[in-house]
């Protein structure tokens, strides 16, 4: 399909779509859900139609760039021929590329193109516009001068303030911001501030707007605070990745809903300042096992699937993965750190005869979700060391498995973090260990540099009767050399049913392989699964206590350095991870 080429101006986006198809499956055409032009930020669906009998079996890739720039991935090759995309930050010229190919092949592609124009919303001054999300508003500011920066300030009805991060001005380009972290059906006002190179600030007039209503039947978590010691506290939002249903959401500390993800995902893994990573696990083919980055409105920003990753692994001479689990996060250099599964049928290991053993893989992808580094647990850990509590994976209870109906859930890593020295810290739940992997910012050989845990490389100094963690979650090495984690305590609880989960800080001396337990906070209940831990901006610590039985509940708990509880809230369903955050704009 072709459309008339629009006239160029400073307030327009030119969007070209190139569609590729191999001659063996005929021509590929393209259509859009809306005609050109549309205002910036308007979601547009791009649909590729492949002619010929093989068209339904194709994979499609969507990438975008500014003319003359580098393409960036939106979705790597997958069976879905349709994607939603818009430019939500600024107007300008863009080129969208759509490619089609036969799975597991390197077809030659045929091309066609289609232009599309998006116009500025700030032609006559700043503007506020609703989005497809009832709790997210688009603020559009007119162009500001090179060398200046701009941010938007939102005022609540009580005149409390929140502000977006500053962005650099681009001459001739409008600047657009999503405003989020707002209650439903509530009036707000917003204005923008422009700061010049000398530090002088110019403020615009305020614009009033009102949020929409959350659709009835949206199954959002219910948060009930029962300890609240602080009246003034910067980290005033609770961001959650709930299960049953798996609907990421944010509330204030009183439990009022401020945001939710309107799409479908198995679990949200990390929040990165107006962007979020998550993954899907679904019974069926590996194309259904996905990682996805999405924005505040729920629009996909980047996505790939396990089968596409396996195409790359085969080309690299690497073993295959089954699916993704537990961790997806962006590294400081723009690469992406991902946990995945691998299976091996092993004989007379972890049981007599043939046994399907499910282990872990670390993947590092570039910014365009292409594999650049891999680590396989089978190469570096001893499979004769079985899961301590003999956990099993069956279809539906773990990420999908493919070699047998059941497998030994051997390692079950549940977090991975880049440390300051360029290594990767991995929490290996079913072995009750935290390991340090030689990543060396991409040049490492994957060797395990140390193991921390009851039978690991470190001597632990503590007066506690049972100081070591077990079946822990979300281990992270902090800049001061201490390790923070959520200690579920499954092994302790098996021996003593009165044992509770704990929040721990452990000081590490890596040179002497000695450790000291600095904090061992009793979190008041036993949470057999899930959990998270991180430092708050105010210097206290948040622990997401993920799943307590009976009742399928969770808790969000803040403690000080002594382990004293400052804030605690009950949540009415299991929570994979929770985060106490300043706002929805600031990277955590």
What is the SS3 assignment for 552-577? CEEEEEEECCCCCEEEEEEECCCEEE
Cite the DSSP H helix spans in 252-399. 306-315, 377-380
Q: Which helix (H) or strand (E) holds 492?
A: helix 490-495
pLDDT for 382 equals 96
Measured distance CA(336)–CA(74) in Å, rounded: 14
Q: HSE of 523 in the Cβ direction (CA atoms, 13 Å)?
A: 34
Please tell me what DSSP assigns to residue 441: G
Measured distance CA(411)–CA(463) in Å, rounded: 29
The vertex-55 CA angle with 50 and 56, nearest 5°, equals 120
pLDDT for 6 equals 33
Measured distance CA(469)–CA(428) in Å, rounded: 11
CB 291 within 8 A of CB 275: no
The vertex-230 CA angle with 225 and 232, nearest 5°, equals 115
pLDDT for 177 equals 98
pLDDT for 227 equals 86
Residue 75's nearest CA partner among 86, 61, 57, 58 is: 61
- 508 vs 46, 424, 503, CA distance in Å? 52, 15, 16
pLDDT for 318 equals 97
Please tell me what DSSP assigns to residue 587: B
The DSSP annotation for 225-238 comes to EEEE--SS-S--EE
CB 13 within 8 A of CB 116: yes
Residue 547's nearest CA partner among 521, 568, 569, 525 is: 525
Measured distance CA(57)–CA(41) in Å, rounded: 32
Helix, strand, coil % over all residues of the chain, rounded to 5: 5, 45, 50
Give me Rg for the CA atoms of the chain.
25
Residue 427's nearest CA partner among 472, 397, 387, 375 is: 472
Measured distance CA(293)–CA(263) in Å, rounded: 12
- Peptide bond between residue 550 and the one before it cis (omega within 30 degrees of 0): yes
Measured distance CA(92)–CA(101) in Å, rounded: 30
* Structure-token pair, residue 205: 């007039």
Cite the DSSP H helix spans in 254-394. 306-315, 377-380
CB 6 within 8 A of CB 117: yes
Q: HSE of 341 in the Cβ direction (CA atoms, 13 Å)?
A: 28
Tens-digit pLDDT profile for the chain (588 aa)?
323 323 334 333 333 333 333 334 457 777 889 988 999 999 999 888 876 544 568 899 999 988 788 999 999 999 999 999 999 999 988 888 888 888 888 775 665 567 788 889 999 999 999 999 999 999 999 999 999 999 999 999 988 899 999 999 999 999 999 999 999 999 999 999 999 999 999 999 999 999 999 999 999 999 999 988 866 778 899 999 999 999 999 999 999 999 999 999 999 999 999 999 999 999 999 999 999 999 999 999 999 999 999 999 999 999 999 999 999 999 999 999 999 999 999 999 998 999 999 999 999 999 999 999 999 999 999 999 999 999 999 776 788 999 999 999 999 999 999 999 999 999 999 999 999 999 999 999 999 999 999 999 999 999 999 999 999 999 999 999 999 999 999 999 999 999 999 999 999 999 999 999 999 999 999 999 999 999 998 899 999 999 998 889 999 999 999 999 999 999 999 999 999 999 999 886
Q: At 286, is the secondary structure helix, strand, or coil? A: helix
Please tell me what DSSP assigns to residue 192: E
pTM: 0.94
pLDDT for 24 equals 46
Cα-to-chain-centroid distance, residue 68? 30
CB 86 within 8 A of CB 118: yes
* Structure-token pair, residue 279: 């993954």
Taking residue 222's Cβ as centre, other Cβ atoms within 10 Å add up to 13
Measured distance CA(375)–CA(367) in Å, rounded: 19
Measured distance CA(240)–CA(574) in Å, rounded: 10
pLDDT for 9 equals 40
Measured distance CA(267)–CA(448) in Å, rounded: 28
Q: At 444, is the secondary structure helix, strand, or coil? A: coil
Which residues lie closer than 8 Å to 517 by C-beta, 6 or more apart?
Answer: 460, 461, 462, 464, 467, 504, 505, 506
Measured distance CA(62)–CA(368) in Å, rounded: 11
CA 224, 228, 232, 235 dihedral sign is negative
The DSSP annotation for 251-276 comes to EETT--EEEE--S--SEEEEEBSSEE
- 322 vs 243, 342, 362, 421, CA distance in Å? 22, 6, 12, 30
Q: Which residues, in sequence order, are bridge partners of residue 476?
A: 484
């Amino acid at each position: 399909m072709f459309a008339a080429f629009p006239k160029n101006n400073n307030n327009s986006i030119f969007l070209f779509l190139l569609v590729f198809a191999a001659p063996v499956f005929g021509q590929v055409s393209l259509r859009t859900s809306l005609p050109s032009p549309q205002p910036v930020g308007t979601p547009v669906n791009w649909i590729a139609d492949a002619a010929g009998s093989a068209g339904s079996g194709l994979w499609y890739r969507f990438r975008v760039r500014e003319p003359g720039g580098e393409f960036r991935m939106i979705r790597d090759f997958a069976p879905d021929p349709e994607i939603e995309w818009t430019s939500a930050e600024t107007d300008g010229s863009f080129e969208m590329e759509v490619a089609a190919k036969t799975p597991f092949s390197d077809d030659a592609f045929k091309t066609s193109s289609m232009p599309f124009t998006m116009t500025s919303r700030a032609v006559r001054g700043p503007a506020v516009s609703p989005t497809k999300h009832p709790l997210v508003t688009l603020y559009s500011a007119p162009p500001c001068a090179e060398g200046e920066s701009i941010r938007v300030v939102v005022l609540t009805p009580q005149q409390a303030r929140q502000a977006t991060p500053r962005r650099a001005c681009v001459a001739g380009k409008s600047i657009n911001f999503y405003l989020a972290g707002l209650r439903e059906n509530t009036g707000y006002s917003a204005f923008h501030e422009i700061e010049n190179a000398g530090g002088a600030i110019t403020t615009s007039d305020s614009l009033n707007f009102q949020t929409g209503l959350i659709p009835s039947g949206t199954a959002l978590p219910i948060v009930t605070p029962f300890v609240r010691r602080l009246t003034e506290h910067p980290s005033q939002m609770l961001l959650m990745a709930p299960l049953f249903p798996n609907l990421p959401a944010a509330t204030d500390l009183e439990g009022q809903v401020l945001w939710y993800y309107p799409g479908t995902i198995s679990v949200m893994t990390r929040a990165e300042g107006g962007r979020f990573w998550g993954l899907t696990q679904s019974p069926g083919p590996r194309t259904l096992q996905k990682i996805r980055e999405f924005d505040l409105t729920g629009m996909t920003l980047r996505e790939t699937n396990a089968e596409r990753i396996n195409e790359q692994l085969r080309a690299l001479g690497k073993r295959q993965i089954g699916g993704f689990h537990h961790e997806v996060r962006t590294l400081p250099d723009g690469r992406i750190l991902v946990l995945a599964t691998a299976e091996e049928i092993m004989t007379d290991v972890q049981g007599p005869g043939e046994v399907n053993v499910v282990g872990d893989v670390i993947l590092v992808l570039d910014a365009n979700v292409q594999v650049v580094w891999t680590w396989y647990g089978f190469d570096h850990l001893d499979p004769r060391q079985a899961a301590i509590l003999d956990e099993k994976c069956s279809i539906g209870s773990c990420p999908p498995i493919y070699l047998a109906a059941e497998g030994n859930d051997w390692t079950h890593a549940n977090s991975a973090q880049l440390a300051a020295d360029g290594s990767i810290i991995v929490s290996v739940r079913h072995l009750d260990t935290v390991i340090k992997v030689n990543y060396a910012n991409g040049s490492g050989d994957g060797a395990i540099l140390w193991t921390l845990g009851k039978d690991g490389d470190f001597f632990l100094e503590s007066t506690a009767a049972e100081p070591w963690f077990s079946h822990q979650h979300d281990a992270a090495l902090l800049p001061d050399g201490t390790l923070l984690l959520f200690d579920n305590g499954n092994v302790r609880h098996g021996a003593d049913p009165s044992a509770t989960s704990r929040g721990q800080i452990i000081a590490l001396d890596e040179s002497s392989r000695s450790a000291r337990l600095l904090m061992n906070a009793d979190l008041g209940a036993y949470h057999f699964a899930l959990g998270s831990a991180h430092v708050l901006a105010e210097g206290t610590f948040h622990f997401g206590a993920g799943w307590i039985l009976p009742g399928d509940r969770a808790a969000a708990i803040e403690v000080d350095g002594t382990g004293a509880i400052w804030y605690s809230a009950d949540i009415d369903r299991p929570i994979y991870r929770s985060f106490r955050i300043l706002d929805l704009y600031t990277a955590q």
